[in-house]
Structure 1
Amino acid sequence: MLPEIVGVAGLVIIFVLAMWRGINMGLVALAAAFLVGTFYFHQEAEDIAAQFPTKLLVILIGVTFFFGLAKLNGTVDHVVHAAIRATRGHAWAISWVFFLLSALIVGSGAQSTAVVAILIPLGQAFAQRYRISPLLMGLAVLNGTNAGGFSPVAVYFNIVNTVLSKQHIDVDPTGVFIWTFIANAVIQAVAFLVLGGPGLIRRERAERNSRARVLAASGTAGSAGSATAGTAVTGAVSEAPAASGTADPSLAPATPWGAKNTITVVLFAAILGLGLFARLDVGFLAIVAAVVLLLIYPGDAKAAVARIEWNVILLIGGIVTYVGVLQEAGVVDTIAGGVAGIGAPLLAALVLMYIAGVVSAFASTNALFGVLAPLAAPLLLAGGLPVTGFTIAMCVAASAVDSSPFSTGGALVVANTEESKKDETFRGMMIWGMACVVVVPVAVWLAFIVP
């Protein structure tokens, strides 16, 4: 049997078995890497283990460990609530706050799954309180994590950059970040327009005018009329808390801001500054910051270790290791040559964009980057496609469909929606996700790859 058939069949089996039995895909991939590498490609165990992405492992451990501590000590809750208060309760602005918060936190190095798990439950609580579409709020978090996911210190970008670097391909990190951010902001703007955003603005304006009319009437009425009008104003405010005012105090953090939170923010700023400007390794910086925080406040140590995204580490490590085994055997180069041989490079690129969208809607985006980047390497090395443009398009096409209800983020949106709206939200996620599968690949192909 041809090596490329064995390699692709193994990859398909990994995806099928993992989804069928609910097993971590990375664990299945590690087993497949050993079996295929040892018994078919006759590779040594040391060579197989060498394919495991240890640098990425350090990054994932460090950032998820530190952000686990930040969540445990209440710093994340305080930051989120402060951002909500800054909107003064304007319902139309809240989804954008969650979009920017998600982008900021993920763009600073946090694992997107952890951020989604933190922000979606809180976002859906605000959606219910301020009568915002739960689908709009969920997409704000998901699109926000994608917008920040390709910053130079973010996990998504490090996955893509690590895989492409192994192929001796260098991308412009600034260009990738700026354009992926803009693309996801545009996607969120479309969601805002079609999922009730303008209605929130009209509702706020109508309620503000209603209050103004009541207050005007109370100013011209007698004392008895004034009392009646005051009651009407009170009723109007209590019935429509969504439009204006301040953030709901009932959703405030459980504990007041303290020294622990201040130290956490200072350490976070140090990670961000040293990672961006001194170009030190973000993973090790996060581990150092976490250790410093635990030396001062050791009580959170055990719980913080449990917050490390071991499942994600295993997932990414397993897939990258399996693909590395195929690369060592020359399978990836052969397959990539076949994709390039389907016609002009532009057509091959479009095919890869649709592969990214379709597969990512049902499987891990992290794992998909580890597969797609090596497939595209020969096309990029041949000079037939713009390296940065293709990378931007691939990143957006693979991540935009995370809104599918079959993805982790999509499932979290549905799970945290109020019971009466779960079915409606599930259908909405399904329609939105499938629309992204159809529209986004060709849109980014036209925007970033076609000259």
Structure 2
Amino acid sequence: MSAAVLSIVVLAVIFVVATSRSVNMGVLALTAAFAVGLGAAGMSQADVLAGFPADIFLILVGLTFMFGFAQHNGTIDWIVAAGMRLVRGRVAAAPWIFFVLTAALISVGALFAVAIVAPLAIPFARRYAIDQLMMGLMVVHGALAGAFSPISVYGSFIAGYLRGQDLPISPLPLFLGPFAFNLVIGVLVYVFLGGRELLGRRVDTEALASGDQPGDGAPASGPQRLGAYQALTLAGLLLLAVLSVATDLDTGVVALSIGALFALLAPADSKRALDGVSWSVMLLICGILTYINVLETAGAVDYVSEAITSIGAPLLAVLLLCYLAGVTSAVASSLGIIGVAVALAVPFLEQGSVSPIAFTVALAVAATVVDVSPFSTNGALVLANVPEVDRDAMYRRMLGYAGVVVVAGPGLAWLTFLAPASLA
């Protein structure tokens, strides 16, 4: 068996074992990277370690550490209350407030925006008799809508990777394509899961801001006004967005620096913010990306690309890649899957038979729209915030919705972005 075939077989085994045994995929991928790299691909330890994405790791640590302060000191609660005041307490607007909030957070770098917003959105839905599935889906699709902004982890990773391969990429279509796709899905979810029934209902915005809310849950912790600490935190979030867009400074370094400032000002919150960093997710993403480097060195990229090219129908080939990415992402890391799929498609795209920009947008949608699955990170975060009494029913409903999306989503992404580009 050649090194290329072996590396692909090992990748398949990693996915199967990780999902069936609930083992962190990154641990298996890192271990496999050294085993396959040193044993079959003829790489040195330094060569394998060179594939570890230190820049992505720094971004993830910096962003989650910084946003940990905003989550714990009430800044996010204040933003939610301010949003409800902006719409004058209209309950029908609440799902869209959370949709926009999640999209905004992830678009400026908060990779775990769902983890930040879901603990606010799901209790809010339960408290005000909003369908919890509808609210959870609005949060997830909001995150997916903003996930590919030029300064987000997803957007910067894909753009940087394609530029490194000397392939054309335009950050604007990569951002607007997934945004429009998920916005349309958000409208459909809102309409068919009870959004119209919320029209005419209102919330006491003063009670919401003070935390004195009716219902069966514990009172919310939203501050009555924006204090100095919260104002500084909000300024830090805005500063991150400005510096990331207007300068060449590394987003991770900027976020970590702002987080360090917060830690100096509020040492008591520093430990909670650091504990909130999801090291397991960091390991998962970095492990997968390290193994991608081994795949490339072993020749797997060229091997698969040649197989795809031999199909003789470029549109069919990319449709298969979209479904492969979508089905796998439903139970695994979307960012890792996108990395694998883009790496596999690079030689194929270099031939020019398919638009790299259209393919990347379609792949981005296909690999992320399935993140509503309860087995994916975002879906699991939503499910985790549902009260235990409702969790089994919510799980079944999420699983049913995810099944529909897995079957239809990648095909619709291909039909929306790739087919028109190929016919033009």
Q: Normalising to structure 1: TM-score of the pair? A: 0.87
Q: Distance in 2 between matches of 1:337 and 1:80?
A: 50
Letter aligned with residue 390 of structure 2:
K
Q: Which amino acid aligns with 1:193?
A: V
My pick for the range that moved more, 419-428 or 28-37, is 419-428
Distance in 1 separating the partners of 2:272 and 2:393: 36
Match of 2:310 in 1: 341
What is the deviation of 1:334? 1.3
1:417 Cα deviation from its structure 2 partner: 2.4
1:182-225 deviation per Cα after TM superposition (whole angstroms, max 9, x unaligned): 11101111111211112222xx3xxxxxxxxxxxxxxxxxxxxx
Counterpart of 1:129, as a letter, is: R
Q: What residue number does 2:142 align with?
A: 144
Q: How far off its partner does 1:443 sit?
A: 1.3
* Contact 2:372-2:398 at 8 Å conserved across structures: yes
1:389 matched to which residue of 2?
Answer: 358
**How far apart are 1:332 and its partner, in Å?**
1.2
Deviation (angstroms), 1:167:
2.6
Deviation digits for residues 289-320 of structure 1, max 9, x if unmatched? 11222233333222222222322221111111
Matches within 5 A, 1:20-419: 20-111=20-111, 114-201=112-199, 204=200, 242-243=201-202, 245-246=204-205, 248=208, 249-250=212-213, 251-253=219-221, 255-256=223-224, 257-419=226-388
AA matched with 1:372: A
**Paired letter, 1:57:** F
Matched, 1:422 2:396: no
Give the whole-Å Cα distance in 2 for the aligned partners of 1:62 and 1:337: 39
Secondary structure class of the residue paired with 1:441: helix
Q: Distance in 2 between matches of 1:370 and 1:292?
A: 33
Please state how far the C-alpha of 1:84 moved relative to its aligned partner: 2.6
- Letter of the 1:422 partner, please give it: R
SS of alignment partner, residue 311 of structure 1 = helix
**1:170, CA displacement in angstroms?**
3.4
1:236 counterpart residue number: none
Amino acid at match of 1:197: G
Q: Distance in 1 between matches of 2:59 and 2:156?
A: 9
Evaluate the alpha carbon distance shift between residue 387 and residue 410 of structure 1 in structure 2; reply closer, same or farther with a 3 A threshold: same
Q: Hey, what's the Cα distance between the residues in 2 that align with 1:170 and 1:301? A: 41
Distance 2:227 2:89 in 1: 25
- 1:19 counterpart = 2:5: no
Largest Rg, 1 or 2: 1
- SS of 1:164's partner is helix
Residues 370 and 258 of structure 1, relative CA distance in 2, 3 Å threshold: same
CA contact (8 A) 1:159 1:369 kept: no
Cα distance in 2 between the residues matched to 1:170 and 1:63:
28
Identity %: 40
Displacement of 1:245 in angstroms is 4.4
Paired residue secondary structure (1:29): helix
Question: Closer, same or farther in 2 for the Cα pair 1:269/1:165, shift >3 Å?
Answer: same
Give the AA of the match of 1:445.
W
Find the aligned partners of 1:50 and 1:365 in 2 and give their Cα distance.
22
Unmatched tracts of structure 2, length 5 or more: 214-218
Q: Deviations over 1:348-395 (max 9, x none)?
A: 111111111111111111211121111111222111111211111111
User: Which stretch of structure 1 is more off in the superposition, 42-51 or 340-349?
Assistant: 340-349
8 Å Cα contact 2:77/2:223 also seen in 1: no
With the length of structure 2 as denominator, give the TM-score of the two structures: 0.92
Q: Secondary structure at the match of 1:23?
A: coil
Alpha-carbon distance, 1:448 to partner: 0.8
- Name the SS for the 1:57 alignment partner: helix
Distance 2:21 2:386 in 1: 26
